[in-house]
């Protein structure tokens, strides 16, 4: 099984990995995903609270704000182990991205409310920095218009963090979910989870909802980088988990009196899958190393490369795994199909591989 190779001199990363393995015994991933699907995509509240109790939510918040004060080094280990066990949650946008945004803001009553609630689980803050809405002033009132799509944590979210702009600057807005319930449109994702879209039309914003104003590109980019690296680690975990399941199955399945893993054609396929999973994990290791450098452009490009590599690896390995499982792999009862559907969903989130590849090439040429 492919693993991350991040230095762990103090043993913290190993303990985090073990905590996820123990968590998976209580909340088996495939069973949990099927429960989410049966609930029409609503997130599992009990599982989310267990993640809060484990200290995984708000992991990136500084100790001064009540968080764990850890870094993306620890986060990717958790995300990889969650992907490996197929434990589905909105952690990327409702914890990693939201924590990164809140940690960069100046103190305010609304920011402190969101931070404390995120840590103790009383609020679930879903953020989006990809969709930029339009904010205008009409009759001395702030009015929001536009559409924000691909929002997670249906049935769990209590607050949204969204970006808007007018003709002079950008705004970071905190919007209670209950105020926009009538504007929300849900649709099922390929893996059975739910993605929501908010349709704002002449929606009034009060001053207390503005967490920050000005040039917020750096805040948004930092949060997006953190989220992309976390989802890349989860994809690498999916790749590792799908390969491990397939390797075990091919050693058990007997054809012509032999395990099919003894056939050279199958061995070649397994080696190809293993190589892709190894490269995916290596891209995460490389991104973590680049984050320790002072070159922000190189770190950004390393994260783009990781998302591209891990998206391709997870989807290709899962497709090949379904093929090697034979007809059984196409049945709903077989867990390997769930890995494929989850990989397809995550590969499209926060930028698909093709669009990010073009962005990477542009940055490489500019450099």
Bridge partners of residue 144, in order along the sequence: 135, 203
Q: What does the DSSP assignment read for 82-108?
A: HHHTT---SHIIIIIIHHHHHHTSPP-
Of the three residues 214, 246, 271, the one that is the final residue of a domain is: 214
Q: What average pLDDT does this structure show over 225-249?
A: 97
Same domain (yes/no): 223, 208: no
Tokens of residue 257, six digits:
């009196």
How many domains is the chain built from?
A: 3
Of the three residues 163, 195, 214, the one that is the final residue of a domain is: 214
pTM of the model: 0.96
- Give 108-121 pLDDT, tens digit per residue: 999 999 999 999 99
* CATH number for position 272: 1.20.140.10
Q: Give domain status of residue 94, yes or no.
A: no
pLDDT value at residue 140? 81
Closest CA to 238 of 317, 143, 170: 317
Q: Give domain status of residue 4, yes or no.
A: no
Closest CA to 118 of 103, 108, 131: 103
Same domain (yes/no): 223, 361: yes
- In the structure, what pLDDT confidence band is assigned to residue 2 with cuts at 50, 70 and 90? confident
Same domain (yes/no): 306, 227: yes
Q: Give domain status of residue 104, yes or no.
A: no
- Give 24-35 pLDDT, tens digit per residue: 999 999 999 999
Same domain (yes/no): 210, 321: no
Q: Give domain status of residue 6, yes or no.
A: no
- Give 48-82 pLDDT, tens digit per residue: 999 999 999 989 999 999 999 999 999 999 999 99
- Give 278-320 pLDDT, tens digit per residue: 999 999 999 999 999 889 999 999 999 999 999 999 999 999 9
Of the three residues 170, 187, 214, the one that is the final residue of a domain is: 214
Q: Give domain status of residue 102, yes or no.
A: no
Quote the CA–CA distance of 107 and 104 in Å, as a whole number: 9
Which residues constitute the domain of residue 125?
A: 109-214
Quote the CA–CA distance of 359 and 257 in Å, as a whole number: 51
pLDDT at 138 over 90: no
pLDDT at 1 over 70: no
Q: Give domain status of residue 80, yes or no.
A: yes
Mean pLDDT of the chain: 95
Same domain (yes/no): 158, 182: yes
Same domain (yes/no): 280, 170: no
Q: Give domain status of residue 103, yes or no.
A: no
Same domain (yes/no): 325, 360: yes
Q: Give domain status of residue 3, yes or no.
A: no
- Give, to the nearest 10 degrees, the angle between helix 296-324 and helix 353-366: 150
């Amino acid at each position: 099984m492919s693993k991350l190779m991040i230095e762990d001199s103090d043993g913290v990363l190993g303990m985090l990995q073990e905590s996820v393995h123990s968590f998976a015994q209580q909340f088996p991933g495939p069973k949990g995903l099927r429960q989410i699907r049966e609930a029409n995509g609503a997130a599992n509240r009990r599982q989310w609270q267990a993640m809060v109790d484990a200290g995984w939510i708000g992991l990136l918040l500084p100790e001064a704000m009540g968080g764990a004060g850890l870094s993306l080094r620890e986060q990717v280990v958790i995300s990889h182990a969650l992907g490996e066990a197929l434990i589905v949650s909105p952690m990327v946008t409702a914890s990693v991205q939201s924590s990164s945004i809140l940690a960069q803001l100046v103190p305010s009553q609304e920011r402190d409310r969101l931070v404390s609630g995120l840590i103790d689980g009383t609020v679930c803050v879903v953020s989006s920095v990809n969709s930029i809405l339009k904010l205008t002033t009409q009759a001395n009132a702030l009015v929001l218009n536009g559409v924000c799509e691909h929002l997670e944590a249906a049935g769990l979210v209590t607050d949204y963090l969204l970006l808007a702009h007018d003709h002079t600057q950008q705004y970071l807005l905190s919007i209670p979910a209950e105020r926009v319930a009538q504007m929300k449109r849900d649709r099922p994702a390929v893996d059975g989870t739910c993605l929501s879209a908010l349709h704002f039309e002449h929606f009034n914003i009060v001053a207390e909802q503005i967490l920050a104003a000005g040039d917020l590109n750096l805040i948004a980019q930092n949060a997006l980088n953190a989220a992309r690296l976390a989802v890349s680690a989860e994809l690498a975990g999916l790749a590792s988990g799908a390969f491990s399941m397939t390797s075990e199955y091919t050693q058990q399945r007997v054809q012509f009196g032999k395990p099919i893993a003894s056939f050279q054609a199958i061995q070649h396929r397994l080696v190809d899958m293993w190589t892709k999973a190894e490269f995916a994990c290596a891209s995460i290791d490389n991104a973590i190393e680049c984050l320790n450098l002072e070159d922000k452009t190189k770190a950004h490009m390393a994260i783009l490369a990781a998302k591209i590599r891990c998206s391709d690896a997870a989807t290709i390995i899962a497709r090949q795994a379904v093929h090697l499982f034979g007809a059984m792999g196409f049945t709903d009862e077989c867990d390997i199909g769930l890995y494929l559907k989850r990989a397809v969903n995550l590969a499209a989130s926060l930028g698909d591989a093709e669009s990010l590849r073009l962005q990477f090439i542009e940055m490489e040429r500019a450099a």
